Amino acid sequence: MTSAPTPRSRRALTPQRTEGTAAKRTGSAARTGRVAAEHLPVARVCVDIPLPHLDRPFDYLVPQELDDRVVPGGRVRVRFAGQRVDGYVLERVSSSDHPGELLYVDYAGSAERVLDPEIADLARAVADRYAGTLADVLRLAIPPRHAAAEAEPEPPEPTGAVPLPDPNAGWCHYTAGPAYLRALRQGRPARAVWTAMPGEDWPTRIAEAVAATLAADRGAVVIVPDARDLARMDRALTRCLGGADRHVVLAAALGPRQRYRRFLAASRAARRGWARAVVGTRAAMFAPVARLGLVVIWDDGDDQHAEPRAPYPHAREVLLTRAARCQAGVLLAGYTRTAEGQLLLETGWAHPLVAHRAVLRERAPRVIPAADDVERERDPGAVTARFPSVAWRAARRALAADTPVLVQVPRRGYIPAVACMTCRTSARCPHCSGPLALPSATAAAVCRWCARVAVNYACPTCGGRALRASVIGARRTAEEMGRALPGVPVRTSGRDEVLDTVPGTASLVVATPGAEPIAEGGYGAVLLLDTWALLTRADLRAGEETLRRWLSAAALARPASAGGQVVVIADGGLAVVQALLRFDPGWYAERELAERRELGFPPAVRMASLTGTPEAVADLLSLAELPAGVEELGPVELPEEDGRPMERMLLRARRAAGPALARALHAAAGVRSARRAPDPIRIQIDPLDLL
DNA sequence: TCAATCCGTATC
DNA sequence: ATACGGATTGAC
């Protein structure tokens, strides 16, 4: 091309090309002697480069010899800015709008269509929502290629009808339960927030919902937090779907080959139009499924559902987006209800599925709150001191009845939070409602969000002026308790070793939250210890999270009629404890959401956090054309990284301004990366850890 | 007047 | 990230 004064405008007049001319204007083609494919010679490619300003398709010519391997959704290798990079073919088109010469696609390994069109579309939407790039999302969505797995033979299409679930088996105990199953059976996009009752066999209930969906010849995606839940879900699906050939289990932990193999199985089934179920941990939220009719997420409050890699999407949000785009049903499920679930109910987008009160009373264990007296904290080492007599009584009673006892102990390493010395209300910034921190024993409290110093802080609840950082740290109590209860077998289940199940006989099971084994017939007693550590976590979601953990442990107890007791060592006046006592997480979620509305926290608002060096954060902010009404909080200092100071800034916007906020941040990041700004910035939308 | 270097911009 | 073009600088 000769240099024109305004090449862009001149080239814009160039008419759309046919395949022949497209090939001719490529100089490199003449040199290499390559010829473009006759039909649809242009491939629009998403190159695997994470730079925000390159987050758009690039066009390449398809050489004749690769005609049948450069397929929409396939992988290719292309030259980009002088380097060879991988990319995905988004589509094949007859001509390009690109004014310059097109390069040829270098290489296409196989014609396997790993990027389903629905997923490409979803990935774009997710990237937009999270101010990220399509390439980053595709990296989360598509496992790395493993060539050997592509050559393996495919299983045949399963034959025979899916057994129909009985809507009166388990779902009849929930308001609108049978109607929900019926709607799925008819292929309607029924959306529900389900609060499972204690003792519920939730994998079976979910499997029934999946069976109803498959019976309507639509597909389903089920996401669970961890491998243990995945194994349970797999078993339930095998049982309810009359075999293992109608669902695919996906998990990152499988290893590269198995992982790619399973992904291919799902992908090929979807391409053939076989309605199937995919079940997995969070990466499976992007698995291709034909005619998606239902998305399910179990325990959507579990932080395992938040992807730690850019652009940090949350499985709940991805699935909701996906369902909305596909007209699919939704089942947001858990023993508890998140504020996000509550919001879906209050906007009328989803319906509640809650247990009928009478059944709940029948199934629930008895919950006994035991006062958490301040005295004990002076002597945290002594088990007996941490362990009120009510708890000992409940434990001994359960053991005497030859039933197991579950002891839930928080994990170590919670960040100390600041609370009122007198009434223990968490201390919040009077200006922005962020959490306060005590930099040192003598210094005044500082807001972790807006960095304002809270001088003369007064507790809004009791007027107290003294603050203290709660000293937290859960000790392993297993041996000590074992010593106190001689002759009783003691088991532990935690990070290092997670037990799936324990026998229904007298034993002591000490577990950290999320690692509680299921006991045959249920636990005779569940003891919730060191609850102070959970309740005062320096986390906005401390209350919700505490209830979630308590309920998942309490749900494993026997019904009160069979002697099941739950002892929670906390003040019975606290709302969280009240919610546990009444087994009413819906009530708590209402309060929680109302409070977040008042304080301006997600999901009532959209938040964005910007993390980086102070210069980088300031630079990004100066470039970003933020929508009107965005509130800037901070910045606050973070610990140094590689000897460089780091800070974090929060942006608060109305939910409706969320897309515009993400767009503005992505655009600003694009400008920065285009001019090779040295320090990167992490942009997170609605991050879980809003400290 | 020419080469070495810097800066900005595009990457198909 | 490179890669390239145009502007800028500095030595002949």
pLDDT at A162 over 50: yes
- Contacts of A505 by beta carbon, 8 Å cutoff, 6+ apart: A402, A403, A404
CATH 3.40.50.300 intervals, chain A = 171-360
- What's the pLDDT at A225? 97
* Nucleic strand B contacts from chain A, 474-533, CB < 7 Å: none
pLDDT band at A473 (very low <50, low <70, confident <90, very high): very low
- Distance from chain centroid for Cα A472: 27
Distances (CA, A) of A400 to A64, A406, A455, A507, A524: 79, 14, 55, 10, 10
Q: Which nucleotide lies nearest residue A677, CA to C1'?
A: C1
**What letter does residue A601 receive in the DSSP assignment?**
-
CATH number of A171-360: 3.40.50.300
What string of DSSP letters covers A632-680? EEEEEEEEEETTEEEEEEEEEEEGGGHHHHHHHHHHHHHHHHHTT-SS-
Select from A79, A76, A69 the least CA-distant residue to A101. A79
A25 CA to B8 C1' distance (Å)? 27
On the question of pLDDT at A430 being above 90, the answer is no
State the nucleotide closest to A97 in CA–C1' terms: B12
Q: Which nucleotides of B are covered by protein (CB under 7 A)?
A: 8-12
- Split at pLDDT 50, 70, 90, the class of A343 is very high
State residue A530's pLDDT score.
67
Q: Does strand B come within 7 Å of the CB of A102?
A: yes
pLDDT of the residue at A532: 66
A82 touches strand C (CB under 7 A): yes
Q: Rounded to an integer, what distance in angstroms lies between the CA atom of residue A486 and that of residue A132?
A: 56
Measuring from the CA of residue A98 to each C1', which nucleotide is nearest? Answer: B12
Burial (CB count <10 Å: 0-12, 13-18, 19+), residue A67: middle
Nearest CA to A185 among A171, A203, A200? A171
Q: Judge if the beta carbon of A25 is closer than 7 A to nucleic acid strand B.
A: no
Q: Of all protein residues, which has its CA closest to the C1' atom of B8?
A: A675
User: Regarding predicted confidence, which is higher, A479 or A313?
Assistant: A313
Q: Which of 3.40.50, 2.50.20, 1.10.600, 3.40.720 is the CATH number of A366-413+473-582?
A: 3.40.50
CA A675 / C1′ B6 distance in Å:
14
Q: How far apart are the first and last CA of chain A?
A: 54
Q: Does residue A674 approach strand B to less than 7 Å at its CB?
A: yes
pLDDT band at A477 (very low <50, low <70, confident <90, very high): low
A239 touches strand B (CB under 7 A): no
Distance between CA A94 and CA A116 in Å, rounded? Answer: 21
Q: Tell me, in Å, how far CA of A454 is from C1' of C6?
A: 55
Rounded to 5 degrees, φ, ψ at A631 are -100, 130
> Closest Cα to residue A387, out of A450, A475, A461?
A475
Higher pLDDT, A223 or A454: A223
Please work out, in degrees rounded to the nearest 5, the angle formed at the alpha carbon of residue A417 by the alpha carbons of A414 and A421.
135
Nearest to A222 by CA among A312, A332, A143: A332
Contact A404, A502 (CB under 8 A): yes
Q: How many helices (H) and strands (E) does chain A have?
A: 22, 29
Nearest nt to the CA of A3 via C1' is C5
Hey, CA dihedral for A566, A570, A576, A581, is it positive or negative?
Answer: positive
| A450 vs A660: CA distance, rounded Å | 23
> What pLDDT, on the 0 to 100 scale, is given for residue A424?
67
A562 phi, psi to nearest 5 deg? -100, 15
- Sorted by sequence, the CB contacts under 8 Å of residue A321 that are 6+ apart come out as A122, A125, A126, A129
Q: Which nucleotide is nearest to A51 (CA to C1')?
A: C1
Percent over 90 (pLDDT), chain A: 66
Q: Look over chain A and give the mean of its residue pLDDT values, rounded to a whole number.
A: 87
**Which range in A489-498, A539-548, A644-653 is most confidently predicted, on average pLDDT?**
A644-653
Distance B3 C1' – A617 CA (angstroms) = 40
Q: pLDDT class for A95, splitting at 50, 70, 90?
A: very high
- Residue A467 above 90 pLDDT? no
**If pLDDT is split at 50, 70 and 90, which confidence band does A5 have?**
very low
The three-state secondary structure class of A9 is: helix
- Euclidean distance between CA atoms A387 and A167, whole angstroms: 44
Which of A254-268, A490-504, A511-525, A566-580 has the least mean pLDDT?
Answer: A490-504
Across A408-433, average pLDDT: 71
Tokens of A396: 């001994």
Confidence of residue A533 (pLDDT cuts 50, 70, 90): low
A671 touches strand C (CB under 7 A): no
Q: What confidence score (pLDDT) does residue A56 get? A: 95
| Residue A603 preceded by cis peptide, ω within 30 | yes
Bridge-based pairing of strands A631-641 and A644-654 is antiparallel
The answer to whether A406 and A519 are in contact (CB under 8 A) is: yes
Tokens standing for A603?
Answer: 């999901």
Alpha helix locations (H) across A555-636?
575-581, 585-599, 614-623
State yes or no: pLDDT of A431 exceeds 50. Answer: yes
- Is the per-residue pLDDT at A591 higher than 50? yes
Is 50 exceeded by the pLDDT of residue A633?
A: yes
Query: For position A470, what pLDDT does the model report?
Result: 47
For residue A376, what pLDDT is reported?
41
The band of A135, judged by pLDDT with boundaries at 50, 70 and 90, is very high
For residue A674, which phi and psi values (nearest 5 degrees)?
-65, -35
Residue ranges, CATH 3.30.70, chain A: 606-685
Amino acid occupying residue A358 = A
Alpha-carbon A223 to chain mean position? 9
- Spanning CA of A629 to C1' of B9, the rounded length in angstroms is 33
Q: Is A560 exposed, middle or buried (0-12, 13-18, 19+ CB in 10 A)?
A: middle
User: At how many degrees (to 10) do helices A177-185 and A202-215 cross?
Assistant: 30
Is the distance between the Cβ of A70 and the closest atom of strand B smaller than 7 Å? no
Q: Nearest protein residue to B10's C1' (by CA)?
A: A81
Say how far A637 CA is from C2 C1', in Å. Answer: 35
pLDDT at A415: 43
**What is the pLDDT, as a whole number, of residue A165?**
87
In this predicted model, which residue has the larger pLDDT, A679 or A395?
A: A395
Q: Which nucleotide is nearest to A104 (CA to C1')?
A: B12
By C1' distance from the Cα of A673, the closest nucleotide is C1
> Does 3.30.70 match the CATH number of domain A606-685?
yes
**Are A253 and A272 within 8 A, CB to CB?**
no
Q: State the pLDDT at residue A417.
A: 61
